[in-house]
Copies of this chain bind each other. A is one copy, B any other.
Amino acid sequence: MSHLDPADPAADEPRLRRIQEVAAELGVTTRTIRYYEELGLLEPAGRSGGDYRLYDADDVERLRFIKGLRDDAGFSLAEIGQLLEDETARERNRARFRTTTDIAERRALIDDARARVDRQIESLRDKMGRLGTMIEEAEDRHRHLLVHIGELEAGVEPVPHEHPRARRTAVPRTDR
């Protein structure tokens, strides 16, 4: 129970950081973070007395997630907005959940939450699948090329070797 030790009052204090520190850690600019806020992608956990934005660990995680969706998955910020809307809706649902005792409503909120998360995962899986297909195709061509190289290294003569699918002799180009 060291973190409840009265001699260590800062133990569970939720470490709030200012925008530049967060930006540096994530490798983005402060402008980018403010822009995301402008688009409604996140809200800082709090503000200082002088209105400085203050971010907690969850905010940083959320930002990291956004960055991943943008850089790694290649989603637009609008699409990310959709995915995150589901996430923030879940948070709202959680709050609502705790304030109601209506069994039916609670079940509805649960179902809603599950549906949202399912959509989020499905969206990612979909992207993943398409990327996977792309890589397979690229690897096919890779193997195809290696076979070709193998033939050539085996000492095949530089015969014109007209590839049936690659004839492009429709109209002789005059320009360029």
Query: Could you tell me if B170 and A54 are in contact, using CB atoms closer than 8 angstroms?
Result: yes
Within the complex, the shortest CB–CB distance from A58 to chain B, in Å, comes to 6
Query: Could you tell me if B134 and A121 are in contact, using CB atoms closer than 8 angstroms?
Result: no
Flag whether A31 is at the interface (Cβ < 8 A).
no
Give the docked Cα–Cα distance between A161 and B97 (Å): 12
If A68-B134, A117-B142, A138-B120 touch, whether A57 touches B100 (CB-CB below 8 Å) is no
Give the docked Cα–Cα distance between A25 and B171 (Å): 23
Query: Could you tell me if B113 and A124 are in contact, using CB atoms closer than 8 angstroms?
Result: no
Within the complex, the shortest CB–CB distance from A10 to chain B, in Å, comes to 12
Query: Could you tell me if B72 and A171 are in contact, using CB atoms closer than 8 angstroms?
Result: no
Flag whether A104 is at the interface (Cβ < 8 A).
no
Query: Could you tell me if B152 and A110 are in contact, using CB atoms closer than 8 angstroms?
Result: yes
Chain B residues positioned under 8 Å from A75 (CB to CB): 74
Give the docked Cα–Cα distance between A95 and B135 (Å): 26
Interface residues, chain A, with chain B CB atoms under 8 Å away: 3, 12, 14, 16, 43, 45-49, 54, 56-58, 65, 68-69, 71-75, 90, 97-101, 106-107, 110, 113-114, 117-118, 120-121, 124-125, 127-128, 130-135, 137-139, 141-142, 145-146, 149, 152-153, 158-161, 164-171, 173, 175-176
**9 A-B contact pairs sorted by A residue (CB < 8 Å):** A58-B166, A113-B145, A117-B145, A121-B135, A121-B139, A124-B134, A125-B135, A128-B135, A131-B131
